[in-house]
Amino acid sequence: MLFDTLFINGVIYTHDPSRPRANAIGVNAGRIISLDDELPATHFRKVYDLGGAAVVPGFNDAHCHLSMVGLAELQVDLRPSVCPTMEDLLAAVGTACADAPEGAWIQGAGYNQNYLDGQHPTAEQLDAVSNGHPVWLIHNSRHMGVANTAAFEAAGFSGRRGAQAPDGGAVPVDADGRAVGLLQETARALVTDHIPIPSVDDVAAMVDAGSRKVLPLGVTSITEPGLGAPAHIGHSPTDIAGYQTARDAGKLGVRHRDALPDHAAPLGRFR
């Protein structure tokens, strides 16, 4: 019988006080089965020379909203490294809108006005490229965002009028009293509460994308601080069933520990 992989010539930190370092590590079926010369190279299908690189245990993220990480991966990428100018940002949104099914919400993530000459996108700028789609763009801080006119109207604010900021939020308006598009802090909910709830399969896709984002960073386990309570700390009422669907399909790539609030939506099974 041959085992999977042997990694040699590394500086391996085991975190075992009785054996803190090793130079080789054998792996089979995702589990460590040997250190140093406990098993010879001839027992493995593949042997990789690490060239002296350090190897550490996988990181645990003690507060990780994995589905939200995945959602950002599936949204239009508006990070400054991808969209360094306002023109680039609007072009990216326009492309997404042109390719989307009729009436679909278009969401983007990661823009930073500090890289856009201090300017947030406006509703009118987004209207010009949105092809009638409601658009919501979340700031890289996730404490504010920008909506276009169609998004405001889907939320019940015709002509972007009448959007009153709740406590702890702000809705900047123009000289005619119309929201300019920016929603800060708690005011985000004026629009985001009207974005359609993701389906179970949508959440599973977010979990898959989130897993693929964090694994290359060395994160192999997480604590998800809340599922199924979107009014509090969860993502959507379909969280639990979506995570279970991802798990059953082999798309939940990290070990996980999950907090389930008493008021979480009891959808699906989760273990």
- 106-130 pLDDT per residue, tens: 999 999 999 999 999 999 999 999 9
Q: What is the average pLDDT across 254-270?
A: 63
181 residue type, one letter: G
Residue 235, classed as helix, strand or coil, is coil
Residue carrying the six token digits 């085992």: 3
Question: How many C-beta atoms lie closer than 10 Å to residue 95's C-beta?
Answer: 13
Q: Residue 229 pLDDT more than 90? A: no
Burial class (CB in 10 A: 0-12, 13-18, 19+), 40: exposed
Candidates 222, 182, 264; CA nearest to 69 is 222
Q: In this model, does residue 144 exceed pLDDT 60?
A: yes
Give the SS3 label for residue 114: helix
Looking at residue 230, its pLDDT comes to 63
Give Dmax over CA atoms of the chain in angstroms: 77
pLDDT at residue 265 above 60?
no
Measure CA 100 to chain center: 20
Q: Which of 124, 79, 67, 96 is nearest to 251 (CA)?
A: 67
Of 150, 56, 34, 141, which Cα lies nearest the Cα of 97?
150
- Do 183 and 123 form a contact (C-beta atoms < 8 A)? no
Return the closest-CA partner of residue 238 out of 213, 202, 194, 189: 202
Q: 232 pLDDT band (50/70/90 cuts)? A: low
The 3-state DSSP class for residue 87 equals helix
Give the number of other Cβ atoms within 10 Å of residue 241's Cβ: 23
CA–CA dist 238, 256 (Å, integer): 18
- pLDDT recorded at residue 204: 96
Local structure of 38: helix, strand or coil: coil
Residue 261 per-residue DSSP state = -
The percentage of the chain sitting over the pLDDT mark of 90, rounded to a whole number, equals 84
Placement of tokens 């994995």 in the chain:
66
Contact partners, residue 77, CB within 8 Å, separation at least 6: 83, 92, 108, 109, 110
Query: Who contacts 164 (Cβ-Cβ below 8 Å, separation ≥6)?
Result: 171
